[in-house]
Amino acid sequence: MTDPPVRKTAHRPTVIVYKSRLLPYSETFIREQVRMLSGWRGILAGDGMVRKGLALDGLDVRMLGYRHRFARHLASLGSPYLIWSWARLRALKAERADLLHIHFATDAYRIWPLARQLDLPTLITLHGYDITTYRSWWEAGNGGRHMRKFPAGLLRLAQDRRVHFIAVSKAIRESAIEFGLPEDKITVRPIGVDTRRFTPGPIPIAARRDVLYVGRLVEKKGCRYLLQAFEQIQDDFPESSLVIVGDGPLGPELKAYAKERGVRAIFRGALPVEQVRECLDRSRMFCLPSITAENGDAEGMGIVLLEAQAAGVPVITSARGGAQEGIVHGRTGFAHAEKDVAALREGLRALLVSDELAASFGAAGRRHMVENMDIRDCMARLEAFYDHHAFSHLPMAAQALRSAREGH
């Protein structure tokens, strides 16, 4: 960058946060990160809006767009290019931003041939499927012809001096290293949860009976194993039901299984975050029995695990990152191995039998989130990371920025 250091302290530095489609309910965390910025000004950029997606009121949103006919033609040729409006690209350049933050490695690969023209330090957050899915799956064309070169393209991108990666969990960092990304270019930064928004509800845990699942109905979320475990104990707990929030391609299959087997399951479909919070307030426990899918796709952390604990709800999970880092086994919930229906069943039974245990886990989970995973603390660490990558080559600017924030 050629701007004089003094410019960096005149106003809040600017970060462009990019996600191709803005924004499904499953990516609420991206909206919340931009909303929580304090030392930085955030511009949320995408190529289009998700139908019936998240409200983005109050955010500085830019639609970069692409011309669909040409995009389809280039995709058919195996090109990752999106045809941005050059006028809009120039408009972004005119913002004189200090940093580009791209969510998901897949989006970074698709947009990089054009995004690199912004010539900005770039952070790429790795969330899960974008780095855990096997390279061979992509290379076989299962992700679409235009994504066959994604693994090789991502490794080339990683060599760019401007690029650094953020992993949402240690497990995701390990997956990224296995994928081939340079170990010294991957830093763990959990997203966190808003512990002021997710708080314990008015109904005591002892008075609640239902088991809650929230997640897409896809292979890696493992909902089938929860149905199997609950089926095995439901006769012992006639006042309890399994509440399933979410939709996806496996929805019809899972509903048919529950009907055929007589599982006391209520399928609520996808719900906005406010209604998910209401479901947490009525639930005895939360379960996320995630597995590694056949193509390698695995859970990064599972933000809803954090939301449940912040709401004082005990959790049971086998999520790769969540089970190792998101909960404290035996204190805030139970972790079990993937596909271990027996362990899941016994975890359900233990928390349904003992009011004292459920209440203890719920209170400990709340404390754990407040002390270790509050989004404000996580955002402070992220913004410090922004400072480092945007201004590490400008020592005078970095020092002036820190002094301004400290009120000197």
pLDDT digits (tens, 9 = 90+) for 323-335: 778 899 999 999 9
CB atoms within 10 A of CB 203: 12
d(Cα 182, Cα 155) in Å, to the nearest integer? 9
Taking alpha carbons only, the member of 257, 286, 276 closest to residue 347 is 286
d(Cα 185, Cα 163) in Å, to the nearest integer? 8
**Res. 84 pLDDT band, cuts 50 70 90:** low
Instruction: Give pLDDT, residue 82.
Output: 47
264 burial (CB, 10 Å; 0-12 / 13-18 / 19+) is: middle
Give per-residue pLDDT as tens, 150-183.
999 999 999 999 999 999 999 999 999 999 999 9
Instruction: Give pLDDT, residue 9.
Output: 43
d(Cα 82, Cα 113) in Å, to the nearest integer? 9
**Tokens of residue 24, six digits:** 């499904």
76 burial (CB, 10 Å; 0-12 / 13-18 / 19+) is: exposed
Separation in Å, CA 139 to CA 43, 72, 146, 149, 263: 33, 20, 10, 6, 40
Taking alpha carbons only, the member of 90, 85, 74, 84 closest to residue 112 is 84
Instruction: Give pLDDT, residue 115.
Output: 84
Instruction: Give pLDDT, residue 406.
Output: 52
CATH second-level architecture of 205-372? Answer: 3-Layer(aba) Sandwich (3.40)
Q: Which helix (H) or strand (E) holds 277?
A: helix 273-281
Give per-residue pLDDT as tens, 291-325.
999 999 988 888 899 999 999 999 999 987 767 78
Taking alpha carbons only, the member of 280, 300, 287, 291 closest to residue 366 is 280
Ranges of each domain in the chain: 7-192+374-405, 205-372
Name the phi and psi angles at 96, rounded to 5.
50, 50
Asked if pLDDT for residue 69 goes beyond 60, the answer is no
Q: With contact defined as beta carbons under 8 Å apart, do 95 and 14 qualify? A: yes
**Res. 1 pLDDT band, cuts 50 70 90:** very low
| Fold type of domain 7-192+374-405 | Rossmann fold (3.40.50)
Give per-residue pLDDT as tens, 379-398.
999 999 999 988 876 655 55
**Tokens of residue 199, six digits:** 């708080």
d(Cα 106, Cα 82) in Å, to the nearest integer? 13
For the chain, percent of residues with pLDDT exceeding 90: 71
Mean pLDDT within 204-215: 96
Question: Which strands form 14-18's sheet, in the order they lie side by side?
Answer: 60-63, 41-46, 14-18, 99-103, 122-126, 163-167, 186-188
Q: Which residue has the tokens 């209440």?
A: 359
Asked if pLDDT for residue 273 goes beyond 90, the answer is no
Alpha helix (H) ranges present in 84-149? 86-94, 105-115, 129-132, 135-139
Asked if pLDDT for residue 185 goes beyond 60, the answer is yes
Separation in Å, CA 151 to CA 75, 159, 314, 385: 16, 13, 38, 26
Cβ-proximal residues to 296 (8 Å cutoff; 6+ apart), any chain? 132, 133, 134, 137
Asked if pLDDT for residue 2 goes beyond 80, the answer is no
d(Cα 334, Cα 343) in Å, to the nearest integer? 9
Mean pLDDT computed over every residue of the chain: 88
> Which amino acid, residue 167?
A
Instruction: Give pLDDT, residue 114.
Output: 80
In the chain the first and final C-alpha atoms are separated, in Å, by 26
Question: Which residues on adjacent β-strands are paired with residue 382?
Answer: none
Q: With contact defined as beta carbons under 8 Å apart, do 281 and 308 qualify? A: no
Instruction: Give pLDDT, residue 195.
Output: 96
Instruction: Give pLDDT, residue 5.
Output: 37
Instruction: Give pLDDT, residue 47.
Output: 84
d(Cα 160, Cα 389) in Å, to the nearest integer? 13
Q: With contact defined as beta carbons under 8 Å apart, do 29 and 55 qualify? A: no
